Amino acid sequence: MTADKKAIGGADPKEERMRHIHNAIELALNLGDFQKEVDSECTPDKVAKESLKRIDSIIQFNSSAIYLVNEQTSDLTISAFTPDNERSSLENELEFMIDEGFVAWALRERRGVMLNSKDDSHTVLLHVMATYSRIRGLFIGILPSHFSRLHDASLEMVSIILRNASNCIESLIYSSVMRKQQKELEREVERKTRQLVRYEKQLISAQNMEAIAALAGGVAHKFNNALQVLMGSMDLISMVAQDNSKILKQIKRTRPTIRQMADLTNKLTAYARGGTFIANQVISIGALFNEILPAVKRSIKETVDLTVELADDSVLVDVDTMQMRTVVLSIVTNGDESIIDKGCIKISSQLFPWKDVPEKVQVELTPWDYVCVSFQDNGVGMDSNTLRRLFEPFYSTKFEGRGLGMAAVSGIIRQHKGWIHVASQVSKGTNVQIYLPKAS
């Protein structure tokens, strides 16, 4: 009989209540689930827009908006609002709430608070958006005029949505920061890898240098001894054959050849040992080039224009002026030889504080301030193979290099704790840059 009455009278009230509770919990879970947004790595603005849509399915606000905290300025910035034509009224209402201190109160409460609107015609809901660690934003909703308050269950639903939206936004921001840090780490690893490869090449080059230095030292010593004997013999013959013009003429023709061979020996030593300071002095870039330029001008063709523009020419460098003369002459001579007919060579300088030295140059140098001297020509330029082998001893082409010229230049610059960089393109010319440390 009891069972029949239950069947006729409908479901058990207790079961009906449990079903309503179950449906409410399921609705809360669905409305508060932002996992799809996290997995799809959408933006905080999209999460804010989706939150308004879900809140609207529970409570029909006249207008509503979500403000998010700007990560850089910590200001509240409007992120999403509805309807589209109510933005200004929402912003005016929030400005009033801020001025009256209601927003600060809502942020402290960390829950939904009901307030009268600016004109007292509507009820306004302010609800902070916060995670366990920090405030992420603020919800503002203007209720229809016939609403004076919200049901506790509806307000709790809004709280669940906003709390989960805040956690979602925080996850997205942290994910973005982690991706950015990962990219920076990858770039740093790539830079360090390039640096290690460069150091490995330098080590191999240094090992090759040691072998060449041992050979060059012995050859140069014996060669110089032989040249001294030869020069002494020439002087002795000149004294004996003072009245023989033919012999004196031959001796006169032989002396330049001996000097050329002595110069070749010096260049070989400079390449192998990186040069040796003979008479180093602290001198300004301007004074250094004033000493060198007369010889430079004599070494180039009349059809080649030479221009010199030295910025900060009073900057001091500690150099062996004779070796710097060799460096400048070798570079300018190469530029001159690369110009087939008419052309120009420009010499310029610039002071680089260490922080402004290009990164690719910094890895080659010790932290300091450097003077960069550039030699730009508009000659035939070099292909990649010639450029790669430019500093090899005895390597030369029709236009570039003189066997040991650029190899000696590289050794001298290294000995001065500097660095040399060459950039060139076929038919477009060559730019040689030498970096010298500024004198203390």
pLDDT tens digit sequence for 105-121 = 888 887 888 989 888 88
Distance CA 250, CA 233 (A): 13
Percentage with pLDDT > 70 across the chain = 81
Q: Domain spanning 2-179 has what CATH number?
A: 3.30.450.40
**Max mean pLDDT range (34-38, 220-224, 230-234):** 230-234
Question: Measuring CA to CA, how many Å separate 404 from each of 263, 411, 435?
Answer: 10, 10, 20
Question: Which is higher by pLDDT, 258 or 370?
Answer: 370
Chain centroid offset of residue 391 CA: 28
Q: What's the whole-number mean pLDDT along residues 177-201? A: 87
- pLDDT of 201 above 80: no
Distance CA 355, CA 240 (A): 65
Query: Order of strands, edge to edge, in the sheet holding 419-425?
Result: 304-310, 343-352, 370-377, 429-437, 419-425
Q: What's the whole-number mean pLDDT along residues 16-40? A: 60
- pLDDT of 435 above 90: yes
Token look-up 């290294």 returns 414
- pLDDT of 45 above 50: yes
Whole-number pLDDT of residue 245: 83
Q: Domain spanning 280-437 has what CATH number?
A: 3.30.565.10
Whole-number pLDDT of residue 424: 94
Q: Nearest Cα to 331, choosing from 437, 432, 436, 404?
A: 432
Question: Which is higher by pLDDT, 91 or 17?
Answer: 91
